[in-house]
Structure 1
Amino acid sequence: MTTQTAPEIPPVPAELSYGRTVERSLVHRAAVSEVFVTDIRSLAARRARAAAQLPLLHGYYSDHLQRPAVYDALLLLESGRQAAIAGAHAHIGLAAGTTMIVDSFRLDLYALKDLLIGPEPGRLSIDTEYIGNATRRGRYRKGKVVQHYRLDGAGVGRHEMDVLFINEHENEVLRHAQRGTPAPLTSDFDIHAPVTDGSGQVEPARVGRANPLNVVLSGAGTDGGQVVAEVTPRLDNRALFDHVYDHLPAMTLVEAARQLALLAAGDPSAVYAVGFEAAFQRFAELDGTVRAVAPRLRPGGVRGEVPVNFVQAGTEIAKVTVTVAFGSEL
């Protein structure tokens, strides 16, 4: 990934509100506490602007050892996902019950200094453009979403993703085509244990965390010039598992990639994730071991990329390249 200059974005209209969150169903979340979008307004045909308030303290997004503290890249990513879904429902006619499946995405954050956490919750605005063609019946089945972020008035990043819009029946057909059998649900597992049989959870500090609940890797080790681990998230981490799933959601794999990248860098207290480029080939099944592999990052103190490959049952199911930056940027 390359660092881009911030584009010019019109100022946030006065009517954009940060006073309360939108209805949780509009962003496909079960818990109000996991909703960050506070407003969504139409700008033009297939363009919308959303407001999101970034919390100063959150059990998952604030649990980082790096100092000075900055807003988590995954918090901005989740805010963008919520803004895209809310805008699709409110302004391009996405029907209730439709699922947005991400095929690939890319997030670039420009400068660490613009992400520093201040004394007040961050006021994020997200401009979203929907690119794609509707069917004769006016339904969108796939397309691209392009977003530009401003945090407290400063341009901080760009996000784009290729997505599929499918209903419940289509999702069942897709899942059956991949598995051949019904998929188990997260509700079938012990919520206090990892979803696979991995042992030896990674110590939180090794992946820049304080709370063991937020560690999603176990059995970490080295294999030549590579760092390897199993993806074993806890189902009682409600930031990652806000409702019942029949697979490991994409955000869980991105978190696993971030944690493995910090392991590969060797000094998680001084390394920040500032970008992701991801492609998902298959669903990460709950009833099989997911293994993550990344090369060691050569020390240098400058931005670098760590490609993380995810393998299940001998097949690559996803690849997430993590861009890491060092505190020297602040």
Structure 2
Amino acid sequence: MPKEFVHRASVAEVLLTDWARVEESRFTVAAQWPRGHSFFSAVDGCHDPLIAAETIRQTGILLAHAEFGVPLGHHLLVEDLDVQVRPRHVRVGLVPASLEIDVRCSQVRRRRGGALTGCRIAVEIYREGHLAATGGGSFTCIAPAVYQRLRAARLTENAQSRTPTLSTAQPPQSVGRTSPADVVLSPTGLPGRWQLRVDTRHPVLFDHPVDHVPGMVLLEAARQATAATLGRACLPLSITSQFLRYTELDTPCTIEAHRTAPPNPEDGDTVEVTAEQDGAAVFRSTVTMAPPTE
């Protein structure tokens, strides 16, 4: 699998291994999740649901380039993304998890000349014949010249090499992490509120230089804010997210979280997370955590 097809610089971060067209708008994609990963570490003995989210993201990008003819170098912007996992079938085993992904494309948008401008995908991720996860998302394709115009104010000389000031990390254990290097929240002193912590040196979240905060950073912020809100780190069963606008690297971004329903021992706890920058909402997410383990 060419790493360029999934917009990764490191081959180690490519999760997809093969693909084939089944019908006009249906595809099968093969993927593999490693038993261990430097960032997507196991949660309660299960593969991290965020690696499923990254798999969905890579799937959309792959099909845009390999099947819908979007040239390499074009930008693919994720508008929304959701993932739901079935804990029984995402447990870490004695070998890497080999996956078969059934992908259905809808709402395919094209320019008059036929070039793809956007699409929605719905995926079912199977492991050894069992449905392990579901999800999907929508994305928009943007040509380099158009992207330059949209981001002209930020794409100034040396903009991509600009390094944000690295703020203090929230204590790792309070957000379900073991290393401060993987923490994407900074304390503000206010309950339920943090500042997004942007470390452009992170080898996974910032696999290559970018001019805005990647969506996976915001998804991780939602997961960490949920763990901090609930006072425990458990397996996320469901994550739904909307990316409302570009989140800038060097401007403060506030993350807020609050529980939306009374604790339910059977279904877990749900937390709403929002991100705001320069007075405008840039991201929102709903995270449902599994009940605490005994």
Amino acid at match of 2:196: V
2:236 pairs with one of 266, 273, 283: 273
Cα displacement (A) at 1:163: 1.1
Name the counterpart of 1:130: 105
Length, aligned pairs only: 291
- What is the alpha-carbon distance in structure 1 between the residues aligned to residue 8 and residue 281 of structure 2? 29
How much identity, in percent, do the aligned residues show?
A: 28
Q: CA deviation at 1:198?
A: 3.1
1:306 matched to which residue of 2? 271
Q: What is aligned with 1:37?
A: 16
Q: Is residue 238 of structure 1 aligned with residue 203 of structure 2?
A: yes
Equivalent residue, structure 1, for 2:173: 205
Deviation at 1:123?
0.8
AA matched with 2:214:
P
| Kept after mapping to 2: 8 A contact 1:197/1:289 | no
Aligned counterparts, 1:134-145, within 5 A: 134-145=110-121
Displacement, 1:274?
A: 2.0
Deviation at 1:183, TM superposition (A): 8.6
Cα-Cα RMSD: 2.0
Which amino acid is the alignment partner of residue 243 of structure 1?
H
Change (3 A) 1:244 1:119: same
Q: Secondary structure at the match of 1:245?
A: coil
For residue 255 of structure 1, report the CA deviation from its aligned partner.
Answer: 0.3
Residues 185 and 286 in structure 1, CA contact (< 8 A), matched pair in contact too: no
Match of 1:288 in 2: 251
- For residues 238-294 of structure 1, the C-alpha deviation after alignment (integer angstroms, 9 at most, x for no partner) is 1100111101011100100100000011122xx211221111221111121011001
Offset of residue 168 of structure 1: 1.1
1:210 is displaced (CA, Å) by 1.2
Deviations 1:188-240 (A, max 9, x none): 21xxxxx34533x11111111112211111115444xxx11111132221110
Following the alignment from structure 1 to structure 2, what is the Cα–Cα distance between the partners of residues 300 and 40?
40
Name the CA shift for 1:153/1:245 in 2 (closer, same or farther; >3 Å): same
Amino acid at match of 1:231: L
- What is the distance in 1 between the residues matched to 2:154 and 2:188? 31
Give 2:288's match in structure 1, choosing from 304, 313, 323: 323
Deviations 1:140-190 (A, max 9, x none): 1122111111123211222121211111111112223xx57749645221x
Q: The residue matched to 1:83 in structure 2 has which SS?
A: helix
Could you tell me the TM-score, scaled by structure 1's length? 0.82
SS in 1 for 2:249: coil
In the other structure, the counterpart of 1:117 is: 92
- Distance in 2 separating the partners of 1:70 and 1:183: 44
User: Residues 311, 130 of structure 1: CA spacing in aligned structure 2 closer, same or farther, 3 A cutoff?
Assistant: same
What residue is the counterpart of 1:26 in the other structure? Answer: 5
CA shift at 1:53, angstroms?
Answer: 0.8
1:299 is displaced (CA, Å) by 4.2
Q: Tell me what 1:90 maps to.
A: 66
How many angstroms apart in 1 are the aligned matches of 2:145 and 2:17?
A: 31
- Give 1:306 shift: 0.8
Tell me: CA distance 1:251–1:184, structure 2 relative to 1, closer, same or farther (3 Å): farther
Q: Which one-letter code corresponds to 1:187 in the other structure?
A: S
Q: d(CA) in 2 for partners of 1:183 and 1:126?
A: 41
TM-score between both structures, scaled by the size of structure 2: 0.92
Structural mapping, 1:163-174, within 5 Å: 163-174=139-150
Q: Mind listing any 5+ residue stretches in structure 2 that lack a counterpart? A: none
The residue type paired with residue 93 of structure 1 is G
The one-letter code of the counterpart of 2:161 is: S
User: What residue number does 1:58 align with?
Assistant: 37
Letter in 1 for 2:100: S
Change beyond 3 A, Cα 1:27–1:197: closer
Q: Which stretch shows the higher mean deviation, 290-299 or 111-120?
A: 290-299
Q: Does 1:187 align with 2:161?
A: yes
* Alpha-carbon distance in 2 for matches of 1:289, 1:38: 38
Asked whether the 8 Å contact 2:118–2:140 carries over to 1, the reply is yes
Distance 2:160 2:110 in 1: 34
Alpha-carbon deviation of 1:134? Answer: 2.4
